[in-house]
Amino acid sequence: MKLGVVGKGGVGKTTVSALLARAFAARGRRVLAIDTDSNPNLGVSLGLDQQRTDTVPVLPRSLIVGSGGSGNSGGTATAADVVRDYGVATPSGVTLMSAIKVTDAGAGCTCAGHASVRSLLGEVMAEQAAVTLVDMEAGLEHLSRSGGTLAYADVLLVVMEPSRKSVITAARTQALAAELGIPLVFGVGNKARQDDEEFFSALCGEFDVPLLGVLPYDDTVSAADRAGVALGGVPRAVDALVDALEARSAVAS
């Protein structure tokens, strides 16, 4: 499965990405998680400390992944080369890669990093990972780039907070994903309190966004985020989300 996770800034996309990756890994799957945020923090949510997260090697801008690769730091490399040279093992059992990192003002656009991710997803990844999960930067630009960063994804999850704007963004994302030919697109409600599950159901129905599941607001998530550490375990609601994702994917197949 090649899974992209997207959403507006602040909806909890990175936390959801990490919990999904950890849930798959706990089921014995080989999981590769790719952080495409220009300010990468996925490593912390996967159990690395901040210092180690900051030293995860970034894919070279010149790298294009293809089956005829040479394995060097630029040019063309195979998927196996890339995972070997740039993948970092995390305490959660997930292999982490960082595709983009902005460290200098005026360093230019990040298009090359997105091109590397697109070419990696285009390769046959079965020998490298059962699940390749891409935690995308906030916004819709990654779906509008030439070729589309997630053009080779099997599934796109749009994380939403309980607000009308967030659901509308999910609807817009779904339309762009359809243009790219991504087979499955689902909305995932997050930070739900009290009647928010009903809100998600109603509004997703209004805007024709297929709702995969809803994750409740959890104080332990906020506490872990403030402390800069990974959440202690995978909540049952996330396991239920993975169950629903696998069931819907199996039906589509």
Per-residue pLDDT tens over the stretch 73-120:
456 778 888 899 999 999 999 999 998 654 443 444 455 556 777 777
CB atoms within 10 A of CB 197: 17
Per-residue pLDDT tens over the stretch 41-75:
899 999 999 999 999 998 877 676 765 544 444 56
For the chain, the domain total comes to 1
- More confident of the two residues 141 and 173: 173
Task: Give residue 26's pLDDT.
Answer: 96
Question: What CATH number corresponds to the domain at position 239?
Answer: 3.40.50.300
Give CA–CA dist 190/160, Å, rounded: 6
What's the pLDDT band for 146 if we cut at 50, 70, 90?
very low
Residue ranges with strand state E in the chain = 2-7, 31-35, 64-65, 76-77, 88-89, 95-98, 131-135, 155-160, 184-192, 211-216
Task: Give residue 106's pLDDT.
Answer: 44
Task: Give residue 103's pLDDT.
Answer: 46
What's the pLDDT band for 124 if we cut at 50, 70, 90?
low
What's the CA dihedral at 164, 166, 168, 173 to 10 degrees?
-170
